[in-house]
């Protein structure tokens, strides 16, 4: 197996951000986003990587930006190192296949969450509210009306927009649509909601036809020259819940398509989810890579 790329070292440019998985470099009016092979689980980066994962995820990302380009413009310039600035070409071996050159935008500080199914934090809130509200026909959550009597993982009658704050630290707080309006103005708030739902629909319809469910996802937008564009990454396993349609059954939680193997392993050894995280055995690494490749095969190939 090839070695996992855990760190990058592009000395020509300063770091713009270093996330759990990606190293982002600042090129002035552009950014270079490099997906390493790091993997996180329960919000902690694991000591060993999944060799090749960064490449698979970058190829997925390029695919999604292209797929949704008919409904939303994005920050993407190129994923081809030959089209990068000359001083990056000497890093071709590291960057090839796992990086994207993008336009730097002014980030809009709202996490644009779209949900087609009821899962995760929405299900938790819903369950608790349903108990306290007893017999009413509808339940209002995050400023959205939901009918009562939904079961876990059930498909919603139509996708809903449940934005959150983008907190630098700590947990993101849910925002009502009115709060988004107060923050960015009515016109931009409406565009965020409309675009988010359109992009979700485009990808979710496509995924359905390929036997996959995108239960929910999260976008970031930015502005550039007065235009609103999609930034960051879209439909990655860190921003989205992917379910296998063949195993889907409402009324219970679903398996996370790509990260379940890692999560199950970590649960099986009773790790307390506090850093440092334990080393993954070779077999788990190999199986996880296979799973990422399978998602790619099923959605793109």
Ligand X SMILES: Nc1ncnc2c1ncn2[C@@H]1O[C@H](COP(=O)(O)OP(=O)(O)OP(=O)(O)O)[C@@H](O)[C@H]1O
Binding segment toward ligand X, per CB under 6 A, in 99-107, 146-154, 208-216, 252-260: 99-107
Among 122, 222, 235, 285, binds ligand X (CB under 6 A): 222
Q: How many residues bind ligand X (CB under 6 A)?
A: 17
Cα 152 from Cα 124, distance rounded (Å): 9
Binding segment toward ligand X, per CB under 6 A, in 4-12, 64-72, 97-105, 256-264: 97-105
If one asks whether residue 73 binds ligand X (CB under 6 A), the answer comes out as no
Residues 32 and 25 sit within 8 Å (Cβ to Cβ): yes
Nearer to ligand X, 159 or 222 (CB): 222
Residues 228-247 contacting ligand X, CB under 6 A: 231-232
Minimum gap (Å) between residue 85 Cβ and ligand X: 16
Binding segment toward ligand X, per CB under 6 A, in 81-89, 103-111, 120-128, 138-146: 103-111
Q: Residue 74 has which token pair?
A: 């994005």
Residues forming a β-bridge with 280: none
- HEC profile of 167-221: CCCCCCCECCHHHHHHHHCHHHHHHHHHHHHHHHHHHHHHHHHCCEEEEEEEEEE
Binding segment toward ligand X, per CB under 6 A, in 12-20, 58-66, 84-92, 186-194: 12-20
Among 1, 12, 15, 17, binds ligand X (CB under 6 A): 17
Q: Nearest residue to ligand X, using CB?
A: 19
Minimum gap (Å) between residue 39 Cβ and ligand X: 11
- b/e map of 250-261 (b: 16 or more CB within 10 Å)? eeeebebbbbeb
If one asks whether residue 79 binds ligand X (CB under 6 A), the answer comes out as no
Among 57, 95, 105, 266, binds ligand X (CB under 6 A): 105
Residues 39 and 13 sit within 8 Å (Cβ to Cβ): no
Q: How many CB atoms lie within 10 A of CB 6?
A: 14
If one asks whether residue 5 binds ligand X (CB under 6 A), the answer comes out as no
Please state, in angstroms and as integers, the Cα–Cα distance from residue 142 to each residue in 139, 185, 269, following that order: 10, 19, 36
If one asks whether residue 24 binds ligand X (CB under 6 A), the answer comes out as yes
Binding segment toward ligand X, per CB under 6 A, in 96-104, 121-129, 191-199, 255-263: 96-104
Among 107, 127, 245, 249, binds ligand X (CB under 6 A): 107
Residues that bind ligand X (CB under 6 A): 17, 19-22, 24, 31, 75, 102-105, 107, 220, 222, 231-232
């Amino acid at each position: 197996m090839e070695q996992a790329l855990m760190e990058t070292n592009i000395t020509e440019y300063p770091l713009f951000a270093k996330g759990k998985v990606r190293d982002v470099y600042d090129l002035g009016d552009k950014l270079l986003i490099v997906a390493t092979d790091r993997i996180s689980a329960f919000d902690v980066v694991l000591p060993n990587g999944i060799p090749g994962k960064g490449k698979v995820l970058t190829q997925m990302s390029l695919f999604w930006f292209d797929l949704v380009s008919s409904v939303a413009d994005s920050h993407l310039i190129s994923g081809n190192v030959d089209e990068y600035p000359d001083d990056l070409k000497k890093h071709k071996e590291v960057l090839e296949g796992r990086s994207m050159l993008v336009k730097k935008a002014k980030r809009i500080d709202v996490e644009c969450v779209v949900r087609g199914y009821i899962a995760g934090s929405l299900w938790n809130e819903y369950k608790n509210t349903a108990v306290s509200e007893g017999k009413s026909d509808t339940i209002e959550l995050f400023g959205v009306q939901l009918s009562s009597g939904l079961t876990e993982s059930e498909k919603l009658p139509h996708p809903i927009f449940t934005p959150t704050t983008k907190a630098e630290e700590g947990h993101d707080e849910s925002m009502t649509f009115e709060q988004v309006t107060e923050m960015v103005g009515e016109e931009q708030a409406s565009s965020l909601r409309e675009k988010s739902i359109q992009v979700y629909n485009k990808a979710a319809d496509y995924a359905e036809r390929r036997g996959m469910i995108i239960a929910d996802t999260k976008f970031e937008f930015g502005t550039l020259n007065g235009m609103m564009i999609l930034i960051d990454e879209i439909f990655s396993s860190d921003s989205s819940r992917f379910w296998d349609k063949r195993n889907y059954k409402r009324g219970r939680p679903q398996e996370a398509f790509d990260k379940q193997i890692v999560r199950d392993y970590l649960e099986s050894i009773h790790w307390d989810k506090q850093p440092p995280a334990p080393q993954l055995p070779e077999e788990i690494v190999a199986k996880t890579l296979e799973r990422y490749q399978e998602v790619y095969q099923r959605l793109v190939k």
